[in-house]
Amino acid sequence: MKKILFFSLVAWLSFLSSCCNRQTDALLDRAESFLPAQPDSAAVCLDSILQEDLNESQRALYGLLRSIVSNHRGDGVTSDSLIRESYDYYRKASRDGQTSDPVLQRRYAQGCYYMSVFYANSDSLELCGELLQQSIRGSQQCEDWHTCYLAHTLLSLTTSWENPRDATRQALKALEIYHKVDDDINNEVLIMGHVAASYLAAAEPDSALEYYLKGYELAEENHLREAQNSMCMGLSDTYCYVGAFWHALLYAKIGVETADSTTLASSLLSLAQCYYANDSLEQAKAVLDTIRCDSDDYVNRYLALRTLSEIAVQSRNVDSLYAYVDSAYLFLEDRFSREQQVKDAVVIQEKKQEEVRHETELHGWIIAFVLVFLLLMAGIVFYFYYVRKRPVCQPDAPVEVEQHLLEQHQQRTLTHAVQQKRLVQRLESAHKHPSDSKQEKRTERAWAEMEKLINETDNDFVKKLRQQYPDFKEKDVHLCMLVRLKESNATLVNIFNVGESAVKKRKSTLKKHGFHITDADITLEQIIENF
Q: Report, as an integer, the average pLDDT of 33-45.
A: 87
Mean pLDDT of the chain: 81
Pairwise CA distance, residues 335 & 337, whole Å: 5
Q: Is it the case that residue 119 has pLDDT exceeding 50?
A: yes
Q: Which range among 11-20, 338-347, 420-429 shows the weakest confidence by mean pLDDT?
A: 11-20
> How many Cβ atoms sit within 10 Å of the Cβ of residue 354?
13
- What does the alpha-carbon distance between residue 177 and residue 152 come to, in Å, rounded to a whole number? 9
Beta carbons within 8 Å of 32's beta carbon, 6+ residues apart: 42, 61, 65
Per domain, the residue ranges of the chain are 440-531
Residue 406: what are its φ and ψ, rounded to 5°?
-60, -45
Report pLDDT digits (tens) over 287-340: 888 875 544 566 777 777 777 777 777 766 655 555 555 555 566 666 666 667
What is the average pLDDT across 213-237? Answer: 94
pLDDT band of residue 15 (cuts 50, 70, 90) is very low
Reported confidence tier of residue 397, pLDDT bands at 50, 70, 90: very low
State how far the Cα of 344 lies from the Cα of 487, in Å rounded to an integer.
41
Higher-confidence position of 428 and 134? 134
Distance in angstroms (rounded) separating the CA atoms of residues 310 and 324: 9
- Statement: residue 385 has pLDDT above 80: no
Chain CA centroid to CA 58, Å:
14
Q: pLDDT for 508-524, tens place per residue?
A: 888 888 888 888 888 88
- What pLDDT was estimated at residue 262? 83
Of the two residues 293 and 229, the one the predictor is more confident about is 229
- The reported pLDDT for the residue numbered 305 is 72
Whole-number pLDDT of residue 229: 94
Residue 486, burial from CB neighbour count under 10 angstroms (0-12, 13-18, 19+): exposed
Lowest mean pLDDT among 29-38, 180-189, 311-320, 516-525: 311-320
- CA–CA dist 209, 422 (Å, integer): 63
| Percentage above 90 pLDDT, the chain | 29
Tally helices (H) and strands (E) across the chain: 23, 0
Q: From the CB of residue 457, how many other CB atoms can be counted at a distance below 10 Å? A: 15
Is the pLDDT assigned to residue 226 strictly greater than 80?
A: yes
